[in-house]
Amino acid sequence: MVKPRSQYVCQDCGAVAPKWAGRCEGCGAWNSLVEETIQSAPGGLSGSGLAGRARAGGKIAFVDLDSESPPRPRLICGLAEFDRVTGGGLVPGSAVLVAGDPGIGKSTLLLQVAARMAAVGAACAYISGEESIDQVRLRARRMGLAKAPVQLASATSVRDMVASLDHPDGPAVVIVDSVQTLYIDSLESAPGTVSQVRAAAQELIRLAKKRGFSLLLVGHVTKEGLIAGPKVLEHMVDTVLTFEGDRGHHFRILRAVKNRFGPTDEIGVFEMTDEGLQEVANPSALFLAERRGNIAGAAVFAGLEGTRPLLVEIQALVSASPLATPRRAVVGWDSGRLAMVLAVLEARCGLALAGQEVYLNVAGGLRIGEPAADLAVAAALVSAATGQEVPEQTVVFGEIGLSGEIRPVSQVELRLKEAEKLGFTRAWIAPRRKAPGKTPGKAGATAAAGPKAPAGGQGLAVEEIPHLQDLVARLTVPGPQTPGLETPGRAGPSLERHGRERGGPARPGRGQQAY
Ligand code: TYD
Ligand code: MG
């Protein structure tokens, strides 16, 4: 018999090392290697792997792509935000990982999903490895879900779970909270280690495919921002949803990061209340609800999260710094991107912000990843520097290139429509893409990207901003009080020079246009 040896497994990325080291060679994480015993026969509950018994392999039956029987319908729970993020309901036999920081509300969300599922007639089992039955019941009662016919259990042994679920008339949905508490008794490592998490998930996913139930696994994100045993799990499941939000805010965002059965980048917005999570049908209104009128240093960005337009306020503060290296702090946006926008403002527009502290915040605790936010960020920055407010009821979007040109973004009409719906009257946007090769027959197909205003829209004045200088010009107070602009033309084309460029061929000949 081979003596079991131990190996060191990184709890962040799953990389294996023969010796302990302070830093993982694979992902660079510090202090993440944990000793685990090497199993002589790798594998889960089934015991012997290929090495165990030499038996002849069975023949695989190949079938057609097309099937006679219609596919089983997706399970829709009725929480519209959840259903949309999953791509239109849970697919039978699929495995979904719901990842998020501890305490963000994963258990709350999934208990609500379980209750809804059960209420619409799908048998639903909720297995908690973290909380006792009484704790879950207490929460259910507080949220008014105690009467929902959910099958509740508290268990951590995967062997017990498999024994209970492996029969033909088992539940249609199984929720396991959380994957880090599960253990398989044939493995010696502790629950939560990579090998346990991997093996436990594998057994449950295998069973889900065999019995056709939808499996929802909860996974905590560790301090480094990774789910323990994360890479392994992300590859194994069909869908990865992250549940995020700022503890200081009550908004929670469910985001599809990977989805084999639907679009990614889709988000669902919830609000944490005393009675659990409430769906937010109109997130833009919510994110803009806390705005305090029109102030300098704020701009409303018409963004897009998945298929849904989302309006958020971007706030900037620029102040003189006593430090040699002024501070730059960003919440909700990429700091590298802020540095780029600042550099372009300085080099191409002569806006000197190098000696100033710059703070940028996306209101409401949302995180924006879209480059289309560049122009709104620039508007907030310039407005903060010059003290000139962005005109009332204006939305801004566009991507900034390194030469200061504003680049087109996708889904212009969708963004404009949302802005109009919320009562905005003006939009500063990137020049829209020209419909390629205006063949009359194809005009309809490219209309969405073209400059045409959709029928029925009348309240929104659209101004295309071809260059960052045009934005700066709009936000410059005519007169002496423009501190940031004291050195125009120092490192690039100045505002004066910009006037000369106006007739240049690069400009699309479209100024203000009724939308
Ligand atoms: P929980 O679902 O336990 O988080 P997770 O499973 O992700 O660790 O949520 C815990 C937080 O949610 C806790 O701070 C309390 C808050 N909460 C409410 O505000 N209202 C509620 O109705 C519930 C159930 C929880
Ligand atoms: Mg929990």
Residue 131 CA: nearest ligand 1 atom is 3
**Cα separation of 96 and 240, whole Å?**
6
Angle at 256 between CA 252 and CA 258, to 5 degrees: 150
Does residue 230 have a pLDDT over 50?
yes
- Give the residue with greater pLDDT, 484 vs 220: 220
Pocket residue to mutate for ligand 1, from 272, 273, 277, most atoms within 8 A of Cβ: 272
* 108 Cβ below 6 A of ligand 1: yes
The sign one gets for the Cα dihedral 477, 481, 484, 488 is: positive
**Cα separation of 304 and 311, whole Å?**
8
- Of residues 130, 153, 190, 157, the one with CA closest to residue 45: 157
Does residue 249 have a pLDDT over 50?
yes
**Cα separation of 191 and 179, whole Å?**
9
Does residue 2 have a pLDDT over 90?
no
**Cα separation of 434 and 436, whole Å?**
6
Angle at 449 between CA 447 and CA 450, to 5 degrees: 60
* 272 Cβ below 6 A of ligand 1: yes
Contact 95, 204 (CB under 8 A): yes
Under the banding of pLDDT at 50, 70 and 90, the label for residue 46 is low
Residue 289 alpha carbon to ligand 2 centre in Å: 30
* 290 Cβ below 6 A of ligand 1: no
* 361 Cβ below 6 A of ligand 1: no
Angle at 438 between CA 434 and CA 440, to 5 degrees: 140
- What integer pLDDT is reported at residue 441 of this predicted model? 40
Q: Which residues of 59-180 form beta strands (DSSP E)? A: 95-100, 124-128, 151-154, 173-177
Residue 219 alpha carbon to ligand 2 centre in Å: 9
Under the banding of pLDDT at 50, 70 and 90, the label for residue 156 is very high
The number of beta carbons lying within 10 Å of the beta carbon of residue 320 is: 9
Which residue(s) pair with 278 in the sheet?
271
Which conformational region is residue 345 in: left (phi greater than 0), alpha (psi within -120 to 50 degrees), or beta?
alpha
* 142 Cβ below 6 A of ligand 1: yes
* 139 Cβ below 6 A of ligand 1: yes
* 100 Cβ below 6 A of ligand 1: yes
Q: Any idea how long the chain is?
A: 515
* 250 Cβ below 6 A of ligand 1: no
Q: What is the DSSP letter of 364?
A: G
> Which stretch of DSSP H or E encloses residue 330?
strand 328-331
- What integer pLDDT is reported at residue 428 of this predicted model? 95
Asked which of 16-20, 203-207, 437-441, 449-453 is least confident by mean pLDDT, the reply is 449-453
Closest ligand to 243 CA? 1
- pLDDT digit string (tens) for 465-491? 999 999 999 998 765 544 444 444 333
Does residue 166 have a pLDDT over 70?
yes
CB neighbours of 204 closer than 8 A, spacing ≥ 6? 95, 158, 161, 162, 174, 176, 182, 215, 217
Asked which of 272-286, 322-336, 337-351, 437-451 is least confident by mean pLDDT, the reply is 437-451
Of all protein residues, whose CA lies closest to atom 8 belonging to ligand 1? 103
Rg of the Cα atoms in the chain: 28
Which conformational region is residue 121 in: left (phi greater than 0), alpha (psi within -120 to 50 degrees), or beta?
left
Which residue(s) pair with 315 in the sheet?
298, 361
- Give the residue with greater pLDDT, 398 vs 445: 398
Order of all β-strands in the sheet with 16-17: 16-17, 6-10, 33-37
- pLDDT digit string (tens) for 169-215? 899 999 999 898 999 999 888 888 888 888 999 999 999 999 999 99
Residue 130 alpha carbon to ligand 2 centre in Å: 7
User: Distances in Å between the alpha carbon of 481 and those of 317, 386, 437, 469, 478?
Assistant: 17, 7, 47, 18, 8
Q: Which of 64-73, 416-425, 448-457 has the highest mean pLDDT?
A: 416-425
- Of residues 380, 376, 374, the one with CA closest to residue 402: 374
- What integer pLDDT is reported at residue 75 of this predicted model? 93
Under the banding of pLDDT at 50, 70 and 90, the label for residue 381 is very high
The average pLDDT across 205-233 equals: 79
Of all protein residues, whose CA lies closest to atom 12 belonging to ligand 1? 105
Cβ neighbourhood burial of 344 (10 Å; 0-12, 13-18, 19+)? buried
Global pTM value: 0.74
The average pLDDT across 75-104 equals: 92
- Give the residue with greater pLDDT, 146 vs 444: 146
The average pLDDT across 234-257 equals: 88
- Of residues 338, 363, 383, 377, the one with CA closest to residue 284: 363
- Give the residue with greater pLDDT, 505 vs 428: 428
Does residue 498 have a pLDDT over 60?
no
The average pLDDT across 35-46 equals: 65
- What integer pLDDT is reported at residue 515 of this predicted model? 43
Residue 79 alpha carbon to ligand 2 centre in Å: 19
* 252 Cβ below 6 A of ligand 1: no
- pLDDT digit string (tens) for 273-330? 999 999 988 888 877 877 777 789 999 999 988 778 889 999 999 998 888 889 999 9
Closest ligand to 245 CA? 1
- H-helix segments, 143-193: 158-165
My answer on whether omega of the bond before 178 falls inside 30° of 0, hence cis, is yes
Tokens for 479? Answer: 């007169």
Residue 313 alpha carbon to ligand 1 centre in Å: 27
Of all protein residues, whose CA lies closest to atom 21 belonging to ligand 1? 276
- Helix, strand, coil distribution of the chain in percent, nearest 5: 25, 25, 50
Does residue 406 have a pLDDT over 60?
yes
* Max Cα distance, the chain (Å): 88
Does residue 457 have a pLDDT over 60?
no
Does residue 96 have a pLDDT over 90?
yes
